[in-house]
A and B are shown apart, each in its own frame.
Chain A
Amino acid sequence: MKNWVKRSGCLIAASAVAVAMLVGCGEKAPQAVDLDENELAKQLSEQVTFEDTLEPVEDEIGLSLYGLTADQVASAEIYMSTSATPEEIAVLEAKDSDGVAALKSAAEQRIEDQKLSFEDYNPEQMPKLEDPLVVESGNYVILCISGDNQAAQDVIDQYIK
Chain B
Amino acid sequence: MKLKKVKVIPSHTARKKRQRGLFLIALGVVLVFIAGGVYLTMRVQNNNGKNDNATSSHQTESKTDSSQAQSSESNSSATSSQNAESQSSSVASETTSQENQSSISSAPPAESQTSDGTAPAWNQDLGVPAIPSPAPGDFSHSLFIGDSRTRGLMQYTDLVSRGSVFYTSTGLNVSTAQTKAIVPDANGNMLTIPQALETAQFNKVYIMLGVNELGWAYSDIFIEEYTKLVQAVKAAEPNAAIYVQSIVPVSAEKTASDPIYNNVKIAEYNVLIQQMAIDQGVGYLDVKQSLVDENGCLPAEATSDGVHFNKDYCQKWLEYLQNNS
Contacts and interface: CB of A to CB of B under 8 A. Distances in A.
A7 B60 contact: no
Contacts of A123: 89, 93
Contacts of B154: 61
A23 B47 CA distance: 14
Interface stretch (B48-56, B126-134, B195-203, B277-285): B48-56
B118 interface: no
A64 B104 contact: yes
Interface in A53-79: 53, 55, 57-58, 60-61, 64-67, 69, 71-72
B170 to A, nearest CB: 5
B186 interface: no
Given A11-B31, A55-B156, A99-B55, A32 B50 contact: yes
Nearest to B52: A96
A159 to B, nearest CB: 18
A117 B99 contact: yes
A96 B54 contact: yes
A117 B63 contact: no
B100 A18 contact: no
Interface in A2-19: 4, 7-8, 11-12, 15, 18-19
A120 B100 CA distance: 14
Contacts of B46: 26-30, 97
A96 B48 CA distance: 8
B97 interface: yes
A45 to B, nearest CB: 12
Nearest to A97: B49
B303 A60 contact: no
Given A113-B100, A116-B100, A23 B39 contact: yes
B51 A96 contact: yes
A31 to B, nearest CB: 10
A116 B100 CA distance: 7
A41 interface: no
Contact of B100 (A19, A57, A81, A109): A109
The 8 A-B residue pairs whose C-beta atoms are closest, nearest first, are: A15-B31, A120-B97, A116-B99, A96-B54, A84-B305, A99-B58, A82-B308, A83-B148
7 contacts: A61-B160, A82-B303, A95-B53, A95-B58, A98-B55, A109-B102, A120-B77
